A and B are shown apart, each in its own frame.
Chain A
Amino acid sequence: MYRLALNMLFGDRAKLAMLLCGLAFSALLMAQQTSVFFGIMSWTYTPVHNIRAPIWVSDPMVEQANDAKPMRDTDLYRVRSVDGVAWAAPLHTSFLQARMQDGNFKLITMVGIDADTFAGAPAVLSQGRIEDLRLPNTVIVDEWGAQLMGRVTKGPDGKEVVIPLKVGDTFEVNDLEARIVGICKVRRAFTGGPFVYTTYDRTKLYTLGARRTLSFMLVEPQPGIDPAQLCARIEADTGLKAWTSETVIWSWSDLSLARNTFWWFWKNTGIPFSFGTAVALGLFVGIAVSGQTFYSFVLENLKYFAAIKAMGAGMGVIARMLLVQAFTAGLLGFGLGVGMAQAIGRAMIEKGMPPFVMFPQIFWATLALVLGISLVSAIIGIIKVSRVDAATVFRG
């Protein structure tokens, strides 16, 4: 009977197309919006992703990775003296204005790293050498920043063309020259400004001699020391806050700076509500369109289901036929929708924004929701068919 149920479904191509459109649109909306949401949210803990270090230490009042509360430089020595610490390096992060050659200003995220160890330096440089940061007034800019801060000029066809920054170009930060010695590849940040790397000591100049410039400390545990245990020891010995750098936001670890950052943005911004609304909309549209279409499919076939009932098919068989039809349509709609979401996502990734991260959880959750929509549709149909009296087949 299940093959016949499928043939009934595929036999009405117009209705099937309508059903698949509803389900695919719903799956697309849910998967795409959720993936963009997690993509954007993954930008919130970009510093932890870009600056690889097993342990981050901050002021105890810090709640997330973008929230730097400067500490005294002497705190670095206190951390270095904690038993189990192999090394600790200073890290500065701040938002500054860069003045370009054309007089235009751009917001940047300045990152100051330890000049001796280069702890926290970008892992991949597409131009230049990290060692050149030791030269006077030098910086490394990320690829997106090089494009964003590039010079706008008119091409041969009269259209505006951006000439990206390259090694050797300069700009100013607080009237001090910043000469580019490298272009790096790093993930973009939620806060918007491109990353400009320099040495920790030089950030004191670029920030006009700010009294405290130590935003975070990057710590490496000695071999065999568990980072979580060392975090507890650092907190106990120094009164500072220590975090692990794992970026699995699904983990239950309260020590993870990435996870805390993710959930801080979740709680304190309207982003989840905004995207949640779109996802809920996808779900409701899916239920409405698919439910309505499937119901209409059942209504059109009602007299045939009544005939099948009269011929001796129990409601169990008919219910299973409807479930097979609904779930088949659901799986096809899910495939189409998630396929489209992936295609759009890949196009997005190539363009660089908006970010798109389809976790396996998103894939499975979308599948569950689409099958849920199918189940609701099937149940509506089953209720309708169950109320049909088999005797109606004798009434013309």
Chain B
Amino acid sequence: MSTPATQTVAVRTRGIDMFFGEGETKVTALKQADFEANRGELIMLVGPSGCGKTTLLSVIAGTLTPQTGTVEVFGQRLDGLSQEELTTFRRKHLGFVFQSFNLIPTLTVLENVMVPLLIQGAAQDVAVAKARAMLEKVGLKGREDGRPNALSGGQQQRVAIARALVHEPSLLICDEPTSALDKDTGAQIMQMVRDLSRSPDRCVVVVTHDHRIFRFADRIAEMEDGRIRRVVEDASLLDTNHL
């Protein structure tokens, strides 16, 4: 964060190459992928299946290490960090919303939301208070002691969002957050994500196939064959038949 340019950029990747396997089984997932997301921005990664969206998301999240290229998240270079350092980085700065919610069914709603805080080493009472407050913020007050399976899909995704934001991460990673939801519920969830992301200290990257939610994006990065093909601000410029 030494220059004005980097002060606005939240996520930047340059020249990312990522491949899996070797020899005849080698599959190239990313080819010189360059990507940028700004602070206070909600950016969507779209593209056909197999174009490398999830791989790029994993690289940005520090769960995959690319073979070449640089990754920078809120001024921190991730390439070159050890697994332990990446784990610590994710713990402090990242929040995740998964396609299938990944809420632990044997824990209560409140306990699920407490997980990131407890991973950070927060005291039990502090974690309980913060988790309760976050659940209230996403409109789930009174559902703290229930099990996730007793909630609707939309409510479960709200719990997942509460869990993703409870430790106030800088970068929120959302992987197909509305794929299991109907149109109206999906719109509500995206509105909530958008509202919660409106902060200069936060950035939201959403991978999606769901063109119904494109309108919530500040920008949309279209991927094709492992690289960013173009970045648009107006979703109507995209040919959604190919996505």
Contact indicator A312/B58 (Cβ below 8 Å): no
Q: Please report which residues of chain B, range 131-190, place their CB below 8 angstroms from some CB of chain A when the two chains form the complex.
A: 175-176
Q: Does B87 make an interface contact (CB < 8 A)?
A: yes
On chain B, the residues within 8 Å of A7 by CB distance are 106-108, 111
CA distance A20 to B217 in the complex (A): 51
A-contact 0/1 string along B98-141, CB 8 Å cutoff: 11101011111001001110111000100000000000000000
A110 → chain B closest CB, angstroms: 67
On chain A, the residues within 8 Å of B107 by CB distance are 4, 7-8, 11
CA distance A301 to B118 in the complex (A): 18
Contact indicator B91/A3 (Cβ below 8 Å): no
Of B54, B63, B64, B114, most buried by chain A (CB within 10 Å of CB) is: B63
On chain A, the residues within 8 Å of B243 by CB distance are none
On chain B, the residues within 8 Å of A309 by CB distance are 87
Interface size class of A (residues with CB under 8 A): 20 to 34
Q: Does A303 make an interface contact (CB < 8 A)?
A: yes
On chain B, the residues within 8 Å of A3 by CB distance are 124
30 contacts across the A-B interface (CB closer than 8 A): A1-B118, A1-B119, A4-B107, A7-B106, A7-B107, A8-B106, A11-B105, A12-B106, A301-B104, A303-B102, A307-B96, A307-B102, A308-B119, A310-B63, A310-B90, A312-B87, A312-B88, A312-B90, A312-B92, A312-B94, A313-B91, A313-B119, A317-B119, A389-B63, A391-B58, A394-B54, A394-B61, A394-B63, A394-B99, A395-B54
Given A4-B111, A11-B105, A12-B106: A311 and B54 within 8 A (CB)?
no
B-contact 0/1 string along A157-190, CB 8 Å cutoff: 0000000000000000000000000000000000
Q: Does A393 make an interface contact (CB < 8 A)?
A: yes
Q: How many residues on the B side are at the interface (Cβ–Cβ under 8 A)?
A: 35
Contact indicator A391/B64 (Cβ below 8 Å): yes
Q: How many A-B residue pairs have CB under 8 A?
A: 85
A298 → chain B closest CB, angstroms: 13
Q: Does B196 make an interface contact (CB < 8 A)?
A: no
Given A4-B107, A301-B104, A312-B94: A390 and B115 within 8 A (CB)?
no
On chain A, the residues within 8 Å of B116 by CB distance are 311-312
On chain B, the residues within 8 Å of A314 by CB distance are 84, 87
Q: Please report which residues of chain A, range 1-48, place their CB below 8 angstroms from some CB of chain B when the two chains form the complex.
A: 1, 3-4, 7-12
Given A4-B114, A8-B107, A394-B54: A311 and B175 within 8 A (CB)?
no
Q: Please report which residues of chain A, range 295-326, place their CB below 8 angstroms from some CB of chain B when the two chains form the complex.
A: 301, 303-304, 307-314, 317
Which residue of chain B has its CB nearest to the CB of A301? Answer: B104
B157 → chain A closest CB, angstroms: 14
Q: Which of B91, B98, B124 contacts A394 (CB 8 A)?
A: B98
Contact indicator B119/A312 (Cβ below 8 Å): yes
A-contact 0/1 string along B64-94, CB 8 Å cutoff: 1000000000000000000010011111101
Question: Knowing that A311-B119, A312-B116, A314-B84 are A-B contacts, what are 17 other residue pairs whose CB atoms are under 8 Å apart, sorted by A's residue number?
Answer: A4-B114, A4-B115, A8-B104, A8-B106, A9-B106, A307-B96, A308-B115, A310-B96, A311-B94, A389-B63, A391-B58, A391-B61, A391-B64, A394-B58, A394-B207, A396-B99, A396-B176
